[in-house]
């Protein structure tokens, strides 16, 4: 399936290109439709294209997603999010395996051979791409720091805050339990324990399968920042995430 001109001009990388270049891109780019768990590209493969998410959700695993040591380190459902552009720019193999996390996920495939012509046609495009890569690197650095240093309950609190639906107090977690645990780093039981702690303290409430309501936003923010755990109990009693608790 080929994209239309309108599809492309909505995306940052194509917005300022001359009409002739956009028309050429419609003939060289393709739209890929993924089922849940379908692989878009694999770790170690030659970076022959970068991708732009059009709809749905994708996740990137370091290593084989079915392997015992694999890690889900990147999840996005943000429309027009760019994927693995840094691999194409640096001409290095894909460092992750990207899969669809929802049925009917659609991504735009932009062949690596098209990028030099795009850069020639838009002198500002290189700066925009460099900014994108720098922002992605900063985000991943912060995430890796969290995984290496934060108690589980803080990681869970930060994840819930980041996933809150705009203008709502609801958080819909579409990841499977194993995927969520892989995304946050600890064992599945530790993530479930952290969620249970937040529920017991009245900070969140379970309102459906994978759906949580934030009942105490300031309390959740405090937990995410490492403040004292609000609600029943105390830090001295070894609440999950407190100074007296062992991080599972």
Residue-wise pLDDT for 159-193, tens only, equals 888 888 777 888 888 777 777 777 776 667 788 88
The two three-digit tokens of residue 140, written as one number: 């991943």
Q: Which residues contact 112 (CB under 8 A, 6 or more apart)?
A: 47, 48, 49, 50, 88, 91
CATH 2.60.120.10 domain position(s) in the chain: 5-147
pLDDT tens per residue across span 36-89: 999 999 999 999 999 999 999 998 888 777 776 677 778 888 899 999 999 999
Fold of 5-147: Jelly Rolls (2.60.120)
CB atoms within 10 A of CB 159: 20
Q: Which residue has the tokens 């459906």?
A: 208
The closest of 83, 37, 77 to 55, measured between CA atoms, is: 77
User: What's residue 99's pLDDT?
Assistant: 92
Residue pair 5/22 in contact (Cβ under 8 Å)? The answer is yes
What is the pLDDT at residue 237? 33
For CATH 1.10.10.10, the residue range(s) in the chain are 151-237
Angle of helix 188-200 relative to helix 152-162, nearest 10 degrees, comes to 70
How many Cβ atoms sit within 10 Å of the Cβ of residue 75? 18
Instruction: Give the pLDDT confidence score for residue 136 in this predicted structure.
Output: 80
CATH of domain 151-237: 1.10.10.10
Q: Which two tokens stand for residue 227?
A: 């403040």
Nearest-10 Cα torsion for 36, 40, 43, 44: 160
Per-residue confidence (pLDDT) for residue 10, from 0 to 100 = 95
Average pLDDT, the chain: 83
Maximum distance among all Cα pairs of the chain, rounded to whole angstroms? 68
CA atoms in the 13 A half-sphere facing the CB of 170: 9
Tens digit of each residue's pLDDT (9 = 90 or more) over 188-243: 778 888 888 888 889 999 888 888 899 898 888 888 887 655 555 433 333 333 33
């Amino acid at each position: 399936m080929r994209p239309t001109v309108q599809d492309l001009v909505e995306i940052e990388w194509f917005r300022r290109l001359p009409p002739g270049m956009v028309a050429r891109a419609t003939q060289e780019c393709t739209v890929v439709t993924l089922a849940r768990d379908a692989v878009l590209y694999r770790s170690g493969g030659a970076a022959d294209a970068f991708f732009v998410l059009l709809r749905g959700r994708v996740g990137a695993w370091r290593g084989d997603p079915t392997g015992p040591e694999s890690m889900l380190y990147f999840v996005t459902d943000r429309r027009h999010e760019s994927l693995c552009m840094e691999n194409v720019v640096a001409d290095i193999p894909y460092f992750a395996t990207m899969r669809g996390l929802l049925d009917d996920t659609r991504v735009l495939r932009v062949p690596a051979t098209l990028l030099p012509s795009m850069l020639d046609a838009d002198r500002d495009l290189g700066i925009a791409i460099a900014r994108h890569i720098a922002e992605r690197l900063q985000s991943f650095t912060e995430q890796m720091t969290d995984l290496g240093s934060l108690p589980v309950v803080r990681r869970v609190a930060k994840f819930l805050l980041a996933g809150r639906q705009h203008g709502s107090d609801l958080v819909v977690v579409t990841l499977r339990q194993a995927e969520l645990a892989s995304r946050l780093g600890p064992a599945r039981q530790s993530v479930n324990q952290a969620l249970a702690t937040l529920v017991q303290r009245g900070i969140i409430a379970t309102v459906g399968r994978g759906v949580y309501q934030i009942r105490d936003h300031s309390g959740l923010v405090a937990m995410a920042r490492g403040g004292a755990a609000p609600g029943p109990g105390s830090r001295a009693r070894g609440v999950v995430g407190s100074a007296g608790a062992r991080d599972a």
